[in-house]
Amino acid sequence: MSQLDELYREVILDHYRNPRRRGTLSGNHLHAEGNNPSCGDEFALDLVVENGVITDAAMQGQGCSISQASGSMMMDAIVGRSVDEVEDLMRKFKVMMTIEDGDDPLDPDRPGSVLGDLEALQGVRKFPVRIKCADLAWATLEDALAQAGR
């Protein structure tokens, strides 16, 4: 395993063991649920959108480390951001997950990286069946945002 793979593995395991914003929200919020039958992953999301900004979020779910770590990283990435920024982030995440081996990899040390910890998931590309695990949280987020009329 390369040093980078090792680092990515640690980031994923950290999010899996210490998920960010796990729980539920009370009060008015959007809710969406998703699952990935090919792996048995489940993910649910509570989301508060105010004036086009995601002001609060909470996640529930169970499944493999990739699916749950992806959700935890997504929580870190979206709260406090505008819906426009988050939609841009979603696009960048999808691009990252569909880069073919042999394409230029993303450089995690480059300045201004917006994906942050999420870049640890790019190693998942090597295992196409697991891409659905990494995508689950994001597909659920898309559902929640659709309820907000996006």
Least separation, in Å, of the C-beta of 118 and Zn ion?
A: 16
Choose one: 49-57, 81-89, 104-112, 125-133; the region binding Zn ion (CB under 5 A). Answer: 125-133
Residue of 104, 29, 36, 33 whose CA lies nearest to 67: 36
β pairing state of 41-50 and 53-62 = antiparallel
Q: Provide, rounded to whole angstroms, the least separation between the CB of residue 65 and Zn ion.
A: 8
Which residue in 15, 41, 74, 135 binds Zn ion (CB under 5 A)?
Answer: 41
Our CA dihedral for 34, 91, 119, 73, rounded to 10 degrees, sits at -40
* From candidates 39, 53, 106, 131, binder to Zn ion by CB under 5 A: 39
- Tell me the C-alpha distance between 114 and 147, whole Å: 25
Q: Which of residues 64-123 bind Zn ion (CB under 5 A)?
A: 64, 67
Question: What amino acid is encoded at 117 in this protein?
Answer: D
The first and second tokens of residue 33, run together, are 């649920």
Minimum CB separation of residue 25 from Zn ion in Å reads 25
- C-alpha–C-alpha distance, residues 144 and 140, integer Å: 6
- Considering the rule CB under 5 A, would residue 131 count as an interface residue with Zn ion? no
CA 108 to chain centre: 17
User: Nearer Cβ to Zn ion, position 30 or 140?
Assistant: 140
Regarding 139 and contact with Zn ion (CB under 5 A), the answer is no
Report the interface residues with Zn ion, using CB under 5 A.
39, 41, 64, 67, 133
